Amino acid sequence: MRRAQAMIETVLAVFFLTALFLALMQLSRMAQARIMLDHAAARAARAKAVGFNDFMCVKSARVAMIPVAGERVWPLEGDWDEVARVPVYLESEDEAHALGILEYENWRTTSIDVDSGGGPGAKVRAEVLMATDEFRMDGMAEVESHYPLYMYDQGR
C-alpha cells in the first residue's frame, strides 16, 4: 500500500512540474514575441521618421520580426538562405514581388500600422499586431520625426 501511495504522489508531482514547465515555456515564447514585436514597431517607426514610404516601413517591420514570424512559407527550400534574401526583399518594389522573395507564415496574420502625425518634430507611432494559433500579440513604438528638418520633403 505504501509503495502505491509513493508512486501516485510521484506521478502527481511529475505531472504538476511538467505542466509548470510547459506553462513557463509558453510564457517565455509570448515574452519573446512581445519584445520582437516592439522591436519591429520601432524599426517601422524609425523608417517612417527618416522619410521612407509606408511599404518600406512594413518591410522593415517584417524583417525585424523574422525570429517570431513562424515557419518560412517561401521559398521552402532554395538556393539562397534567408540572410541573403533579406536585402533583396528590402529592395523589392511591390508586395507581390516582395512575397516572391521571402515570406513567413505569421506575416499573413500581421498588421502593421504607421501613423506619422504631421509637421516637423511630429511623433511617428507604429503598431504591429500578430495573431497565431496560440496567442495574439502586439508591439508599439513611438519615434520623434526629424526628417522634415534636414531633408526636402517631396510629399511622401
pTM of the entire structure?
0.79
The pLDDT-based confidence of 136 (bands split at 50, 70, 90) is confident
Write the pLDDT tens digit of every residue in 79-110.
Answer: 667 788 899 999 999 998 998 889 998 898 88
Exposure on the CB side of residue 80, measured as CA atoms within 13 A = 13
Element (H, E) at 95: helix 95-99
Rg (CA), the chain: 22
> By CB neighbour count within 10 A (0-12 exposed, 13-18 middle, 19+ buried), where does 66 fall?
middle
**pLDDT score of 121 more than 90:** no
